[in-house]
Structure 1
Amino acid sequence: MTAQSGKDMLLKLDQTGSGSFLTVAGLRTKQLAFNAASVDTTDAESAGRWRELLQGGGIKRASVSGSGIFKDKSSDAQVRELFFGGTIRNWQLILPDFGTVEGPFQIVALEFAGDHAGEVTFELALESAGEIGFTAL
């Protein structure tokens, strides 16, 4: 696989819950992180007193974050409405030449910043709110 352009990584939100996805415009950076908590099953009889983990146990989660500038009234308004409503909606993160991650997420952080000599920027953070699927390209 060759190097991929970061601009081709897209974050899309399901506008109405009907599967109609809208690209969140103006994002300059995007990040996806998967985490899985382990379940420690170590006891006094564990071999060599080494830690033992429960296979398949624990809670899995995905986090998405991004930052950018305002470019599109429609997606900007949707993001604000979802945050202030605490609404869980399906989102897609498209990773070029890799696949698509899709599932329910909630916006857990929305931040705005502005420099005297620059544009207003925003940052958002999403946390998974259910099972996440992956479709390879």
Structure 2
Amino acid sequence: MTAQKGKDLLLKLHNGSGYETVAGLRSKRLAFNAETVDITDSESAGRWRELLGGAGIQRASMTASGIFKDQASDATVRSAFFAGALVEAQIVIPDFGTLAGPFQISALEYSGQHNGEVTFEIVLESGGAITFGAAA
């Protein structure tokens, strides 16, 4: 596998009639986390921490920032945030596959300099099971 272009990592949100690519993203970061469940007790071998496998909560989060390039994706992001609703999202990782599932936009920030463009940053947190489909 060769190096992949960062611009090909895509975030798509379902707008009620289909998946729409969130336009204008300049940077994106996808993270997976799993909580651990500590089962260490006074009889743990050598006082080493023991963990209970498969018991922690898993989650996915995505942080993205950029500039709004079209009114449609701006409206999709904004309405999902203000509704506090879970939105079906697809995260396309080039030559790897697509992650899909319910996400909530937990943060939406706008910023801008007097001599520059308006930028935004969003944070999405998984709100249910995430599925993975390998690239064809």
**What's the TM-score bracket when you normalise by the shorter of the two chains?**
over 0.9
State the AA in 2 paired with 1:126: L
Distance 1:43 1:114 in 2: 52
**Offset at 1:133?**
1.0
Distance 1:92 1:30 in 2: 13
The alignment-based identity, stated in percent, is 64
The residue aligned with 1:53 is: 51
Residue 5 (structure 2) pairs with residue 11 (structure 1): no
Distance 2:111 2:90 in 1: 25
Residue 41 (structure 2) pairs with residue 43 (structure 1): yes
Q: Provide runs of 4+ in structure 1 moved above 6 Å.
A: none
2:49 alignment partner, SS class: coil
1:91 alignment partner, SS class: strand
- 1:85-100 to structure 2, matched below 5 A, reads 85-100=83-98
The residue aligned with 2:115 is: 117
Distance 1:44 1:70 in 2: 56
Name the TM-score, length of structure 2 as normaliser. Answer: 0.96
**Offset at 1:87?**
0.9
Distance 2:68 2:44 in 1: 55
State the AA in 2 paired with 1:53: L
Residue 23 (structure 2) pairs with residue 25 (structure 1): yes
**Offset at 1:70?**
1.1
Distance 2:70 2:6 in 1: 20
**Offset at 1:44?**
1.0
**Offset at 1:135?**
1.3
**Offset at 1:134?**
1.2
Can you list the C-alpha shifts for 1:52-111, whole angstroms capped at 9, x where unaligned? 100101111110110010101101011101101101011011000111111100000000
Provide the aligned C-alpha RMSD in A.
Answer: 0.9
Pick aligned residue for 1:73 from 58, 71, 74: 71
The residue aligned with 2:2 is: 2
Name the TM-score, length of structure 1 as normaliser. Answer: 0.96
